[in-house]
Structure 1
Amino acid sequence: MKNKYTPTALALYFNYFVHGMGVIILSQNAAALAKQWGTSQTAALAVVSALGIGRIINLLISGVLSDKFGRKPFVQLGIVTYFIFFIGILLSPNTVIAYILGILAGMANSFLDTGTYPGLMEIYPNSKGTSNVVLKAFISAGQFLLPFIVSGLAAAHMWYGWSFIIPAAILVITFLYFLFGGAFPDSNEVTKEDEEKAKKAEEQANNNIASNVWIDGTLFIIYGYISQATFYLVSQMLTQYGQQVGGMAQASAHSLVSWYSLGSICCVLLTAVLGKKISEIQFVPVYTLGAFVSILLMWLFPTNAALMIILAFLVGFFAAGGVMQLALTVMAEFFPAGKGTVTGFFYTAGSIASFTIPLFIGWIGNMKNVMFLDVIIALIGFIDTLLIAIRYKKLFGKLSK
């Protein structure tokens, strides 16, 4: 049957297309913004760190409140806050104001996360993993398109601000949609249905095991950190690793990022196709094992240029192709009564990783050793998801759909 909430889902997806642009828009316009603020490009780029601060500030509380008041208010709040960021940056006179606006952008992302991920799981209860993984595709599309917009504006000698106006205009459209309609399923009713399904699955498994907030919650929060750290490490240092350790030419080293991104997109498409037949819990340990093996081989054989290209694709496929979203979906199965809350906890752990990993990179320094750190982190991630799969089988009595 046709899902009456599909237009709402499309609006949610376009919000994340804009979010994909928002993540990189400051770095893409660093030179123009530095001139606007009367500072260096390095100082302008420092504003990017404000996004991480904003995410941590309100993720947990907005997740809890999303469960209490529903998904729509937080999606709307996220849209408005992101709009203020895009327009505010164009009007900001200095880096202080820009940094405050960057914090708002991080908060906007948190509002969207805690309204959108639970909302999509409730719109598509039989395809929760697929619906959340598709968000990753829209984020990647926004990140892919924005550099072409920025370079096109520069080539045409047009105002750089149009790269901010375009995503802001999309947000106006989605906000109007939610203002004059944009219905969501009743989250309380969906929660009751999910709890009944979980209880029935436990009874069919013939055991007395129930999800444990300390055991299962800790495993998922650890993976929230690990999954973000795994692909963040690679994405931030892939070009440098190719040049400094692999001895690759600059152009070839930069191409590794393109292959990495292509792998991510291919994984999203494959997961979306297979998601209706294969349970999310079956994907997660396989993808984390693939990430570990790929990163290990990248550390062992950095000077083989052809192999590095293949491995960059595979790391993007396994580590950045939506496994984080799949794991969140599985976590929501363990704790069906608090989808917004678990989203808040899970992504807070990821935000902490975004803060701490750059510190580790700076402290270690040597790119070969940094890659080895990623090997260790990826291995921990595989062990963690294997334990989650074991707990899932004990709780629900099966791994397949």
Structure 2
Amino acid sequence: MKNKYMPTAISLYMNYFVHGIGVIVLAQNMTFLAKQWGTNAAGVSVVISSLGIGRLIVLLVSGMLSDKFGRKPFVVLGATTYLLFFAGILLSHSIVVAYIFGIIAGMANSFLDSGTYPALMEMFPNAKGTSNVIIKAFISAGQFALPLFVSFLVASNIWYGWSFVICIAILLLNIIFMVIAGRFPAPNADAKAAAAAKAKEEEESVADVKSPGNIWFDGVLFILYGYISQATFYLVSQWLSQYGASIANMGDTSSRALVSYYSVGSLVCVFVTAALAKKAVKEIQFLSIYTAISFIALLLMYLFPTAMVCSIMSFVVGFSAAGGVMQLALTVMSSFFPKGKGTITGIFYTAGSIASFTIPLFTGMMSTNLANIWLFDIIIAALGFIVTTIITVRYYHLFKHSDSKTNEEAQEGAA
């Protein structure tokens, strides 16, 4: 709490509380929006897919530019464009206009990612993984609160648009704070400091410090996982309520509550991960374990689609697939490629944006059979386990020498 960047960090996290709402707000208000746009559930799914297009358009470029021009402009731009999305959806009366604002939402998410993830790693250089995983806590908080709020609006027969208006108000306050008082470190300041320290110790120049990862092998693995991890939890967040209602024969309120259980699971995971990270458990050690758990949980929901199993496994899937594993993977990727955090953030989340675009299109075509949608997610989760296992093996191969050297130094210090 003594960190001078803490007020700015809190503001950054609040943007992701709103983002958590933005990810599922269209799906949670699907009935109302379909009527407003003169379409059906499949049409709303097409609009949801537009968020992935928006991310894909600007994410890689914005990541590179954030390394060059700093993080603050992209955070402010992201919050501003997100505000336009929430207002635009309320005012749109056709699927075409809604699709345009969906693209704007995807762009907003990209701007936020390219500025926020690198900024937090630079603000908290000794707790990079934890600071990034906390983002997921705020996303999960938004995803937990929205279904409950929408259920309240429906039960009270209150206009659905209040779920959008509240987000507009939060973003407006955040933008004002960020412009007036937001403080950010210099881009890649932590990497430069680490390189300078290494140069001082080993009498090497900063330019001689090389990335340990192989861009064509390790880079491709992380890109694949960026797609897979986003696809796994994005599919669940969009279709969980419908799966509970149609396959598990749950009522409207209880099926919507599945998303809240899922969000609680992701929140719990954030705190568990943060606690373990303080005990020197490395980010890499979580990846394959969490993906294996999510695969098993999804499989159980498919094999035993009862209300009880869906409720319990929604929590487990939230814990394992949406509790920050994607953010942990990004932190691990920054170990493989330590220079240019904005660029690698752009590359990693570009893969995720492709998932955000393609998954709703695939599932929209399968919307008549929700069991097939779930089977599709099980296959994706299985592939995720394979990829993270390979990443883990690569990590210990590349960093085995440095880890053993660190352990030897620690033992010498203790002696």
TM-score, with length taken from structure 1: 0.85
Query: Any unmatched runs of 5+ in structure 2?
Result: 203-209, 408-415
Question: Residue 285 of structure 1 aligns with which residue?
Answer: 288
1:143 and 2:143 correspond:
yes
2: CA distance between counterparts of 1:324 and 1:282? 13
Maintained 8 Å contact 2:148/2:260: no
The alpha carbon displacement at 1:308 in A equals: 4.6
The alpha carbon displacement at 1:348 in A equals: 1.4
Question: Residue 191 of structure 1 aligns with which residue?
Answer: 191
Maintained 8 Å contact 1:209/1:394: no
Maintained 8 Å contact 1:297/1:311: yes
What residue identity is the alignment partner of 2:60?
L
The alpha carbon displacement at 1:280 in A equals: 0.9
Question: Residue 226 of structure 1 aligns with which residue?
Answer: 228
Query: CA, structure 1 residues 377+353, in 2 after alignment: closer, same or farther (shift >3 Å)?
Result: same
The alpha carbon displacement at 1:30 in A equals: 4.5
Question: Residue 177 of structure 1 aligns with which residue?
Answer: 177
Maintained 8 Å contact 2:48/2:102: yes
Q: Deviations over 1:309-331 (max 9, x none)?
A: 43332222111211111101111
Query: CA, structure 1 residues 294+29, in 2 after alignment: closer, same or farther (shift >3 Å)?
Result: closer
2: CA distance between counterparts of 1:308 and 1:368? 13
Q: Deviations over 1:82-132 (max 9, x none)?
A: 122223333445433332222111101110011011111111111111111
What residue identity is the alignment partner of 1:56?
L
TM-score, with length taken from structure 2: 0.83
Q: Deviations over 1:127-172 (max 9, x none)?
A: 1111111111111212222344445456666554443232112112
Matches within 5 A, 1:13-52: 13-30=13-30, 32-33=32-33, 39-40=38-39, 42=41, 43=43, 46-52=46-52
Maintained 8 Å contact 2:366/2:373: no
> Match for 2:380 among 367, 377, 392?
377
What residue identity is the alignment partner of 2:357?
F
> Match for 1:273 among 272, 275, 289?
275
Q: Deviations over 1:323-370 (max 9, x none)?
A: 111101111121111111111111111122233334444369755555
Question: Residue 168 of structure 2 aligns with which residue?
Answer: 168
Give 3-state SS (helix, strand or coil) of 1:326's partner.
helix
Q: Deviations over 1:8-27 (max 9, x none)?
A: 10000011111122223334
The alpha carbon displacement at 1:64 in A equals: 1.0
Moved more, 190-199 or 49-58: 190-199
Question: Residue 133 of structure 2 aligns with which residue?
Answer: 133
Maintained 8 Å contact 2:212/2:337: no
Query: CA, structure 1 residues 377+48, in 2 after alignment: closer, same or farther (shift >3 Å)?
Result: closer
Moved more, 77-86 or 250-259: 250-259
Query: CA, structure 1 residues 157+387, in 2 after alignment: closer, same or farther (shift >3 Å)?
Result: closer
Query: CA, structure 1 residues 386+79, in 2 after alignment: closer, same or farther (shift >3 Å)?
Result: same
1:355 and 2:357 correspond:
yes
Matches within 5 A, 1:151-162: 151-153=151-153, 159-162=159-162
Query: CA, structure 1 residues 89+186, in 2 after alignment: closer, same or farther (shift >3 Å)?
Result: same
Q: CA RMSD in A?
A: 3.3
Matches within 5 A, 1:2-401: 2-30=2-30, 32-33=32-33, 39-40=38-39, 42=41, 43=43, 46-153=46-153, 159-195=159-195, 210-238=212-240, 248-250=249-251, 256-277=258-279, 278-299=281-302, 301-302=303-304, 306-361=308-363, 362=365, 367-368=370-371, 370-397=373-400, 398=403
Query: CA, structure 1 residues 93+258, in 2 after alignment: closer, same or farther (shift >3 Å)?
Result: closer
Q: Deviations over 1:162-197 (max 9, x none)?
A: 432321121122111221121111124222134467
Maintained 8 Å contact 2:71/2:114: yes
Moved more, 1-10 or 267-276: 267-276
2: CA distance between counterparts of 1:168 and 1:297? 38
2: CA distance between counterparts of 1:200 and 1:291? 44
The alpha carbon displacement at 1:235 in A equals: 4.0
Maintained 8 Å contact 1:79/1:112: yes
Q: Deviations over 1:264-291 (max 9, x none)?
A: 2211221122222221111112212222
How many equivalent pairs are there? 394
Moved more, 189-198 or 219-228: 189-198
What residue identity is the alignment partner of 1:382?
F
Question: Residue 413 of structure 2 aligns with which residue?
Answer: none
Q: Deviations over 1:190-221 (max 9, x none)?
A: 2213446789999xxxxx99211111101111
Query: CA, structure 1 residues 274+62, in 2 after alignment: closer, same or farther (shift >3 Å)?
Result: same
Moved more, 269-278 or 105-114: 269-278
Moved more, 97-106 or 309-318: 309-318
What residue identity is the alignment partner of 1:388?
I
Maintained 8 Å contact 2:47/2:102: yes
Query: CA, structure 1 residues 199+374, in 2 after alignment: closer, same or farther (shift >3 Å)?
Result: farther
Moved more, 87-96 or 126-135: 87-96
